[in-house]
Amino acid sequence: MRYGPQWRDYRRVFHQHFNQVAVDKYQDIQARESQVFLRRLLETPEDFFDHIRLAFTTTIMEIVYGIPVTNKNDKFVAMSEEAINSLSVAAIPGAFLVDFVPILKHVPAWFPGAGFKRKAEEWSCLKNRFINEPFDFTKVALHEGSMMRASIASTLLQSLPEGNTEAELRARNVTAMAYIGRLLLTTAAIRVLFLAMLTHPGAQKRAQEELDRVVGNSRLPVFSDRDQLPYIDALIKETLRWLPIAPLAGLPHASTEDDVYNGYLIPKGSIIFGNIWSILHDPMVYPEPEKFKPERFLKDGKLNPEVRDPSVAVFGFGRRICPGRHFSDNAMYSLTSSLLSVFDIELPLDERGQPVLVTPQMGSGLLSPPGPFKCTIKPRSRVAEALVRDTQMDEVVIG
């Protein structure tokens, strides 16, 4: 969407629900779903990729639409997966020949070589479903009085002027973007966390030592513990820096006017990608950038404000910076601290019981999270296992 009045309207609504203060009201849902995630992980650790996706899908679907998601086969889960996969391909400039030969957009969909047009029609249908079906669910539930909990969509619906179709369309688009944006980043980042813990057991052990010292083993970490867990914060920052899930700033941008950078003219309308990978692997800023070292963000046992926070690049730039960054940060903290307090993540074993090195295939679409890989996930102790099993859930959730 181009910068202008409509973009500012969307941004204002986003900020209203995802600013640094507003996101605190979602902490109870995030904490609850982190606990559900732990229970699923305990029962079927080999399905941890599915559990990651479902944890964030459930959280965000409830917050944005008030829709309870019961299992990984839920229709909204399947639809969001399909939408994300399509977006990852469609958003890459140059992915289709029509990007280089614009006149091809005029050929019919049945014409040889016009597969891009058929894809575009499929994706347009999927996009419309993704924008409308969850929103319509909320709209009907609100009308029937069956909403279990207030959501962003229900709040927007209640504030809409009657008969204002333009305002409702804006609300539909805002909720869809809020949902998919939060899901994309947090799901991919937690995959990277698992990979980092798998390949850097020293960092995992240090995080667990901090959790044991501050939280103990009789309860799970809570948000009020965070100020006393600087290494956990450093671990999250290093996870975002080490393998940025959008190495080329995700969606492309365009220059709004002619500009000059380091002597190079950038004409108005040029497609621009921010090189997030280069920014976060600059050895002048992050010595030994290829190494996973959470301690680079610490000084005297506290976060070092002199070290550039990766969020300045990971969440975008300037007026386009991700408005949901505070929500994603809370989600990362809740799941990371809970996970490491009760589980060990180790290399998988072969048939002889020997550790197997893991080298996952990285994605090549809009986002580049690690592809599926195996690992050994087990409770740190019997006490930790009992703590997970004793976790109270608000509802029965089938993983």
The C-alpha atoms of residue 297 and residue 295 are separated, in whole angstroms, by 5
* Displacement of CA 106 from its chain's centroid (Å): 36
**The pair of three-digit structure tokens given for residue 300, joined into one six-digit string:** 């005297």
CA atoms of 332 and 273, how far apart (whole Å)? 25
What backbone phi and psi angles, to 5 degrees, belong to 206?
-65, -40
Integer Cα distance of 397 and 4 in angstroms? 43
H or E element, residue 128: helix 115-144
Contacts of the segment 216-221: beta carbons below 8 A, 24+ positions apart: 217/341, 217/381, 217/383, 217/384, 217/387, 218/387, 219/387, 220/34, 220/35, 220/38, 220/337, 220/338, 220/341, 220/342, 220/387, 220/391, 221/337, 221/338, 221/341
> Does 375 appear as a known binding residue?
no
Q: Which helix (H) or strand (E) holds 344?
A: strand 343-346
Binding residues: 322
Binding residues for heme: 322
